[in-house]
Amino acid sequence: MGRLVIFIYGLFSYAVGLGGLVWFILFVGGWDFLPTHIESGIPGSLSTAISINLGLIILFGFQHSVMARPAFKNRWTKIIPRAAERSTYVLLTGIIMGLFCLYWQPLNGALWQIDNQIGQVVLIAGYCVGWFMVVLASFLINHFELFGLQQVYFNLVRKSEPSPHFTERLLYKIVRHPLQLGVLIGLWSTPTMSMTHLMLSVSMSVYIFIGLHYEEKDLVATLGKEYENYQGRVRMIVPFPK
């Protein structure tokens, strides 16, 4: 695969990945201007709905965690160019986000429904703050590396990629994983927590904590004592001082 082709592939993957993420954020928000969103479906068979939803979560978890492990990357890059590895990950993530928006099945019932206007505003503001944290955190650690653009660009201009490192500024002084914290806030801040939304929030939250367990191990293996010292000073996800 030529360097220019890899670069174009990276741009395409970035567009799909970012588009899938934005679509998912809007889908979870339940905005009425969308033709379909998390609260717009009509519940059908409970067993079918749970089976399809669990299948989507398992698909997301397999792709999002297994493909991020160093052992998988070492094998995978024997099949595809190393420069395209992250772009492929981002492409598949965007596609799966789209599948959530298209096929997440509605369930009957709700855990809470906030009718108070002030309460609604507070929760919608929490939703916006949570997803803004996700975007901000991605830029604090290097948005373009996270989404694969840096790798394909450096490959195009024949430039070596920098050594792995971590940042400790702004949000990263408060928690070690502000991106995941933002997702949790964005998922749970809603005036209407229907059972449809609840299943997505619970399953995604469980996945996040399982994924962080393995990500922390990878970070220690890659960064060593420097990251272990960071672990000792800053909490993983709960923004309280140690």
Least confident of 6-20, 115-129, 226-240: 226-240
37 by DSSP, 3-state: which? coil
- Euclidean distance between CA atoms 102 and 27, whole angstroms: 9
Q: How far is CA 220 from the centre of its chain?
A: 21
Q: Is residue 64 in a domain?
A: yes
Q: Is residue 185 in a domain?
A: yes
CB under 8 Å to 108, separation ≥6 — which residues? 43, 46, 195
- Euclidean distance between CA atoms 134 and 143, whole angstroms: 10
Condensed to tens digits (0 to 9), the pLDDT of residues 209-236 reads: 999 998 899 889 888 898 999 999 999 9
Q: Is residue 149 in a domain?
A: yes
Q: Is residue 226 in a domain?
A: yes
Q: Is residue 102 in a domain?
A: yes
Q: CA 16, 17, 18, 21 torsion: positive or negative?
A: positive
Which pLDDT band holds residue 208 (cuts at 50, 70, 90)?
very high
Q: Is residue 57 in a domain?
A: yes
Domain that holds residue 182: 3-233
Q: Is residue 239 in a domain?
A: no
Q: Is residue 241 in a domain?
A: no
CA-angle at 192, arms to 204 and 186, nearest 5°? 40
- Euclidean distance between CA atoms 242 and 239, whole angstroms: 9
What's the structural domain count of the chain? 1
Mean pLDDT, the chain, rounded, equals 92
